[in-house]
Amino acid sequence: MFADTLTLKNLAGADRTFKLRKQDGTGTERIDAASSQSEPILMVIKHSVQGSGPAAIDQHLVQFSRTKLNSTTGKLVTARINLTIYVPRDSTITVANVEDDLSSLLRFVAGTAFDPTADYASTTYSGLTIGEA
């Protein structure tokens, strides 16, 4: 289990502190200490098991969401980024296999020329924007 407060780096390399806001039997919700209750930046971590016995699959979810008020419409809008990992309990798939695939995914999303200090307006930062649509 993680600490109640998690500190992660943002795009500029500055610290972002996420403080525990909710916790239940399946996961946690943390809020960025620099955000507000009315316009929260949240980090959600959840774990579950699908199936049973040798066919069981562990499911892990990490979600970041940012909610902001549209000053023109007065409505709240939310962006979400999810990463879900399914790991069968069958030992045919090893932890090393999962870590290798996760590394490939992160490199794809970040792009091979990813520079965390570069302008995000660049179209070269992400395999999603320069790769297949």
Please tell me the total count of domains within the chain.
Answer: 2
| 102 shares a domain with 38 | no
pLDDT at 113: 53
| 133 shares a domain with 72 | no
| 40 shares a domain with 3 | yes
CATH number at residue 49: 2.40.160.220
Q: Which of 90, 109, 124 is the last residue of a domain?
A: 90
Which residues, 6 or more positions from 94, have their beta carbon under 8 angstroms from its beta carbon?
A: none
* Per-residue pLDDT band at 127 (split at 50, 70, 90): very low
| 62 shares a domain with 21 | yes
Summarize pLDDT for 7-53 with one digit per residue, the tens: 988 878 889 999 999 999 899 999 999 999 999 999 999 999 999 99
Provide the edge-to-edge strand list for the sheet that holds 5-9. 5-9, 15-23, 27-32, 41-50, 57-69, 76-88
DSSP string for 36-102: -SSS-EEEEEEEEEES-GGG-EEEEEEEEEEEEE-TTT--EEEEEEEEEEEEESSTTS-HHHHHHHH
CA angle, 106 as apex, 1 and 24 as ends, to 5°? 25
* Per-residue pLDDT band at 100 (split at 50, 70, 90): confident
| 41 shares a domain with 10 | yes
123 vs 130: CA distance, rounded Å: 7
| 124 shares a domain with 78 | no
| 25 shares a domain with 80 | yes
| 53 shares a domain with 114 | no
**In which domain, by residue range, is 80 found?**
1-90
Kindly report the pTM of this predicted structure: 0.76
| 128 shares a domain with 78 | no
pLDDT at 59: 92
Which residues, 6 or more positions from 74, have their beta carbon under 8 angstroms from its beta carbon?
A: none
| 104 shares a domain with 84 | no
